A = this chain, B = another copy of it.
Amino acid sequence: MKKENGKVSIAVIRRLPRYYRHLSELRQQGAVRISSNALGKAMGLTASQIRQDLFCFGGFGQQGYGYNVEKLRDEIGDILGINRGHTAVVLGVGNLGHALIQNFKFGNNGFRVEAAFDIDDDVIGTTVGNIPVYSIDELDDYLVRHRVDVGVITVPRNVAPLMAERLVNGGVKGLWNFANVELKLPEAEHVVVENVHFADSLLTLSYMISKPENDDGEEE
């Protein structure tokens, strides 16, 4: 029943986490089944798009019934790789690194953070939310001895490219980049970069609140 042959477009992939989130909420609210129509209404998508998206991975529903909330959620979680025991390390335990380690639920997304690295002697040797903080000097050695899937980059932008390179050389599969630079990787290494560009996000918002020259509604 599975398909998953033809490359799935990035647009579809980026909707999967949203499906997952909504289905998780529905499940918590005790919903057992949902139709593509109802899910679409809740998420602001067309039912057609949802069915088309899921069709990329095979059929998870049942005609005349709809989708089982829990089953669909779990299937999507599986597709997203939530059950693969992914590991991560955090580079840079400044404000942002700290915030991520302490507040962000890596576990909910299938990741285990196993170590953090910094240059600041004041934090090296401490733990942040149970995660040990090592000197950045130990990074390369650490990567040799541990399988790390993702490096989280929360260092200042000027050192980000260097850190990226070391992570890639150490064999990580992906970079989660919070530094406001486009990382160019050592070629041909086949490492995926996912950027979280705060500035781009805020500027997009800036554009959207700026558009109407006259601030009184009345458009379209």
User: A residues engaging B (CB < 8 A)?
Assistant: 13-14, 16-18, 20-22, 43, 79-82, 84, 86, 94-96, 98-100, 102-106, 108-111, 149-150, 173-174, 176, 180, 182, 190, 192, 194, 196-210, 217
Decide if A202 touches B21 in the complex (CB within 8 Å).
Answer: no
Q: Which of A84, A103, A196, A209 counts the most B-chain CB atoms under 10 A from its CB?
A: A209
Give me 15 other A-B pairs in contact (C-beta within 8 A), A22-B182, A190-B217 excluded.
A14-B200, A17-B197, A17-B199, A17-B203, A81-B203, A96-B99, A108-B199, A109-B203, A109-B206, A173-B209, A174-B209, A192-B205, A192-B209, A194-B204, A196-B196
Decide if A176 touches B205 in the complex (CB within 8 Å).
Answer: yes
19 A-B contact pairs sorted by A residue (CB < 8 Å): A13-B204, A14-B200, A16-B207, A17-B204, A79-B207, A80-B203, A80-B207, A81-B206, A81-B210, A82-B206, A96-B103, A104-B198, A176-B201, A176-B202, A176-B205, A190-B217, A192-B205, A194-B204, A194-B208
